[in-house]
Amino acid sequence: MKYNELVQLFFERSNALQWYWTLYVVIIGGLLAFSSLRKQPDHVTGLLVTLLYAAFAYKNLSAIHDVTLQRQAVLGAINESSNAASVASGAGAESTTDAHFRVALQPTLVAPAYAGVRNFHVTCDILTVAALWAMELRRRRYAPLNRAMEGAPPGV
């Protein structure tokens, strides 16, 4: 592949990764909104929501893993292409514009290590589940008070 095709592929994989993270954030937001709007405690619903979220988070992290590895592979190919071009440029094969472009672009192409991405994802997963269950336990603790307030006369 040519250098410009590799760079385009790198950014396509970056966009795919961004979509997975966007979906992840939207799901967490919707899940926390759903959980905060529930009035009555229901452990079965809480357990089902937790299991469904865990399944989603697992598959989302798997997709992020795949795309992260793809980005790292493309970045490796870009670096090899750049090294080969610098050797060939000594022979006059590359224009000075292309060489300047490579020099300017190369340091900005970064693919983070998967371990850091995974740790961040798992930490967010744990915090999300903790927030879900904190809301569930709060509903359970205040359920008698809520029932009493529903039976109270207006204005009290």
Identify the residue with better confidence: 106 or 69: 69
**What is the per-residue pLDDT for 130?**
97
Name the nearest CA neighbour of 37 among 136, 125, 129, 128: 136
**What is the per-residue pLDDT for 155?**
54
Question: Tens of pLDDT along 99-153?
Answer: 788 888 888 888 889 999 999 999 999 999 999 999 999 888 877 766 666 665 6
Helix axis angle for 43-89 and 3-37, nearest 10°, is 170
**What is the per-residue pLDDT for 146?**
61
- Separation between Cα atoms, residue 47 and residue 27, nearest integer Å: 17
**Cβ(121)–Cβ(57) below 8 Å:** yes
**79, amino acid identity:** N
Sorted by where each begins, the domain ranges of the chain are: 3-142
Half-sphere exposure of 6 (CA within 13 A, CB side): 18
- Please list the alpha-helical segments (H only) found in the chain: 3-37, 43-89, 96-105, 114-151
**Cβ(114)–Cβ(13) below 8 Å:** no
**What is the per-residue pLDDT for 107?**
85
**What is the per-residue pLDDT for 4?**
87
Question: Tens of pLDDT along 6-50?
Answer: 999 999 999 999 999 999 999 999 999 999 888 887 889 889 999
**Does the pTM of the predicted model rise above 0.85?**
no
**What is the per-residue pLDDT for 133?**
93
Q: Counting Cβ atoms within 10 Å, is residue 39 exposed (0-12), middle (13-18) or buried (19+)?
A: exposed
Q: Kindly state the tokens that stand for 78.
A: 């870009």
